[in-house]
Amino acid sequence: MNRITQLFETRRTGILSVFFTAGYPEADHTQTVLEALQRGGVDLAEIGIPFSDPMADGPVIQRASTQALRNGMSLRRLFGQLKDIRRTVRMPLLLMGYLNPVMQYGFEAFCRSCAAVGVDGMIIPDLPFADYMTDYRETAIRHDLKVIMLVTPETSDERIRLIDEHTDGFIYLVSSAATTGAQHSFDDARQAYFRRIDRMNLRNPRLIGFGISNRATFDAAIASASGAIVGSRFVQLLGETASPDEAVQTLLKTLGREG
């Protein structure tokens, strides 16, 4: 069974997913970061594929992507780093990146490499849902990979239900239409949006991302969804702390998940 499916069958609330950029701050830190996240009790890890034009990302992740590319990180190198990852890391793993590098690699080859190293799914923010349905869905299913789709406050109920019907794993509920980046709190409008989606009684669980950076935003997310995704704050901590373990522990303390 796919590890993402297993996770949501055993836990329905309070799930923490953490994103980091492969190759940042050092080119060879991928396994070290994943093992630190697992030691910290993180439930799911999203490994960012660095790209020169990350249009959905804010300045923190943009800078990390630039540094990772300067460090020589590539998709091929990332798969090499993940070759033996399942010897030490048990939690579900997702690759998150833009369509351009995936297409340069070749989608069939990408899916085959994901399955070979034990990656469980992917998030491709600029993959249109219609294209996913016609050109990519069957290939992903054949390799038992979950393709996670993003929903924003502007996404219609009709489109949300269509995504819910034709994808598995979870739905990535974007807190706003802005780029990624830390927020101190969610205003009433965003919390009403979270509650509105919750009342739709979707088949798939949801994780809320974009802006999760402290206990207030984490608690607001898990009140209306199965969990939350942290990205920019953790990437920032990786650049500021002495080790991935310190970055993880600082993040958990910030979210109220320490101990």
Distance CA 121, CA 226 (A): 18
CA distances (Å), origin 55, targets 51, 52, 172:
9, 9, 17
The yes-or-no answer on residue 57 being catalytic is yes
Looking at residue 56, its pLDDT comes to 65
DSSP 8-state assignment for residue 149: P
List residues bridging with 230 in a β-sheet: 18
Looking at residue 182, its pLDDT comes to 46
Looking at residue 259, its pLDDT comes to 53
Looking at residue 185, its pLDDT comes to 60
Element at 148 (helix H, strand E): strand 146-148
Among 26, 43, 53, 57, the one annotated catalytic: 57
Task: Walk along the chain (259 residues) in steps of 10 and give the mean pLDDT of each run.
Answer: 96 95 96 98 97 78 94 97 98 97 97 98 96 97 98 95 97 75 67 92 96 91 94 96 97 87
Looking at residue 256, its pLDDT comes to 93
Looking at residue 179, its pLDDT comes to 46
The yes-or-no answer on residue 46 being catalytic is yes
Among 9, 26, 35, 46, the one annotated catalytic: 46
- Maximum C-alpha span of the chain: 47
Looking at residue 54, its pLDDT comes to 65
Distance CA 11, CA 49 (A): 27
DSSP for 70-98, please give it. Answer: HTT--HHHHHHHTTTGGGT--S-EEEE--
- For the chain, where are the alpha helices, taking DSSP H only? 3-10, 30-39, 59-70, 75-81, 99-105, 107-117, 129-131, 137-142, 157-166, 188-198, 215-224, 232-240, 244-255
